[in-house]
Amino acid sequence: MKSFESMVKKLSPLGIYGLDENGLNCGELKALAAGVDAADDELDIIIREGFVATAEDEGLRAWEELYGSPRDELSAEQRRELIIKRLGVNRSSFTPTAVGEIIASLGMGECTITENPTLFLVKLDFSEHSYTAAQKRWIREQLEQLLPCHLEISVIFGNLSWDKIDGLGLSFNSMDSKNLSWDEIDSLEI
Mean pLDDT in consecutive groups of 10 residues from the start of the chain, 190 residues: 80 76 80 91 92 89 81 87 79 72 77 83 83 82 78 75 70 78 63
pLDDT of residue 14: 78
pTM reported for the whole predicted model: 0.51
Q: What are phi and psi of 149, to 5 degrees?
A: -70, -20
pLDDT of residue 20: 77
Domain ranges of the chain: 2-50, 92-186
pLDDT of residue 186: 58
**What gap in Å lies between CA 184 and CA 114, rounded to an integer?**
20
pLDDT of residue 119: 80
**What gap in Å lies between CA 60 and CA 73, rounded to an integer?**
13
pLDDT of residue 43: 93
**H or E element at residue 29:** helix 24-50
CATH class of 92-186: mainly alpha
pLDDT of residue 187: 58
